[in-house]
Every structure is written in C-alpha cells, then in structure tokens.
Structure 1
C-alpha cells in the first residue's frame, strides 16, 4: 500500500496527477488534536463533495502556537495515522505555518471545506479553489468540550484501573 501521509511537494504532485485524471480533490484542515464526532462528520461530508479527501493538520509547533503551550495532546505523527485510519480520509499532510495559505496556494485543490464557525471572507486560501463549503458545527462536539469533560471527571491523577 502506498504512503498516504505526504509531504507538501509529494501532495502537490499527487493532486496534479489526480486532477489530470478527472478526480475532484477536496481539502480540509485543522488541528484535530482529539478526534470527535464533529470531526468525523466533517470528513464524511467533505468526502461526499468529491473523489479524494486531503486533510492537512497543523504541526505540533504550529498547534502549540495556536492553542497554547499545553497542546497538542496528541502528536502530529499520531494524529496523521489516526486520520488515515478513517474511511473518508485519503491523504494527510502536516503543515508548519499558522494557516494553510501557502499549502493551498501550492496544491490548489478543487474544493475547500471548513467548519461553520468561519465566515466565508475569513476562510484562508479560498482564492485558490473553485468552491468553498462551510460545514455546520455538530452541537456540543469540540476538542475544548472534551478537554473540559476530562478535567472535570478526572482532574486528579487516577490509576488506569
């Protein structure tokens, strides 16, 4: 089986090849630090909008700059492998910038999917794609909610029993 965790350069070549063969490439990005139903719903919808789904994830350093020094909870290599285990996800790429602007400029997918919390005019890289789709949040499902629940229930260190 070929590697589906690609570098930026490898992804750029793969997308060109896919598009040349008539495939519609869908792209989404995020931290995806703790996977939850909101993420998997977004991936399913994104995949339904095309033939191939590329998920770009923030590097550990980038995520830490965005979310604070206690993050990530799950490292970039593990996050990439977890995402690749999901049926809708075809490729994963890690990017080190704060936004995927340069990555989108380089790879030029057909469709860009972002969460519904983004206003269209605030979606980074929209100028490099043919279509932008905003997927509504799944109510109550977020990494922050998961972290808060864990802290609330397990604030003190516990054994694994």
Structure 2
C-alpha cells in the first residue's frame, strides 16, 4: 500500500498515471474489468480507496485490490474520490470514474484526461 505523499514524491517516474477510485466493497468482476480498462489507458495505475460505510474495512479492501495484477499502487484517503487536493498532489494524466456499483461491463465509465 502506498501513501499520497509517496506517490506525489515519485510522480516524476510515472509516464502516464491513471487514477481510479471508489469504495470497492466486496470485489467482483466489474471491478476487475474497471481496473483492466484503467490500466490499458496508461503506464501506472493508482487506486484510491475511499473510507466510509462498507462491509470490509479500508485496509482489507486495499489488501484485496493490491493483489490484482493490473493495479500498481493502492492508497486509502478520507473524503471523496475526486478530492481536489489529491488531484493537485498526484496530477494524474487520466481520471477514471464509473457511474454505478453494478456496472460489470465498464460502459458507464467516464475518462477525464488532464482537466485538472
């Protein structure tokens, strides 16, 4: 598991950073497809685990996501996934958003490129 500080300090080593995030409580095939698509858009995939109500705590969710081969870094941070402070620190090339928890095919995924 990485920290925002570690990622920000090492950002210069990452050619094309994709930032994806969410709650990811009870990992399923839709999450795997989401991470696979996100990784295909860049060289480095960082996943932001948001805290909040969930069945599994954030550390357990982060451990599960860290085991997925498409994911390079995982970090836990409070607040919203699109928190402007996180975006300012990490300066991702691509921000991945999904419009719902039941999207198994990534059709609801929205990709933002350098709008922040």
TM-score interval (norm. to shorter): 0.7 to 0.9
Q: How far apart are the structure 1 equivalents of 2:81 and 2:65?
A: 19
TM-score of the two chains, using structure 1 as the length reference: 0.60
| Secondary structure of 1:6's aligned partner | coil
Pick from 7, 16, 19: which aligns with 1:24?
16
Larger radius of gyration between Structure 1 and Structure 2:
1
Q: Find the counterpart in structure 1 of residue 44 from structure 2.
A: 52
Pick from 70, 74, 96: which aligns with 1:92?
74
- How many aligned residue pairs are there? 108
The structure showing larger relative contact order (alpha-carbon pairs under 8 Å, at least 6 residues apart) is: 2
Q: How far apart are the structure 2 equivalents of 1:14 and 1:83?
A: 21
Q: How far apart are the structure 1 equivalents of 2:96 and 2:87?
A: 12
Report whether the alignment pairs 1:41 with 2:25. no
Q: Is the 8 A contact 2:48 2:81 kept in 1?
A: no
Q: Give 5+ residue unaligned stretches, structure 1.
A: 65-71, 132-161
CA RMSD of aligned residues (A): 2.4
TM-score of the two chains, using structure 2 as the length reference: 0.81
Q: Find the counterpart in structure 2 of residue 114 from structure 1.
A: 97
Structure ranking higher in strand proportion? 2
Structure ranking higher in helix proportion? 1
Q: Find the counterpart in structure 2 of residue 139 from structure 1.
A: none
Distance 1:99 1:54, change over 3 A: closer
Q: Give 5+ residue unaligned stretches, structure 2.
A: 101-107
Distance 1:17 1:116, change over 3 A: same
Q: How far apart are the structure 2 equivalents of 1:119 and 1:86?
A: 19
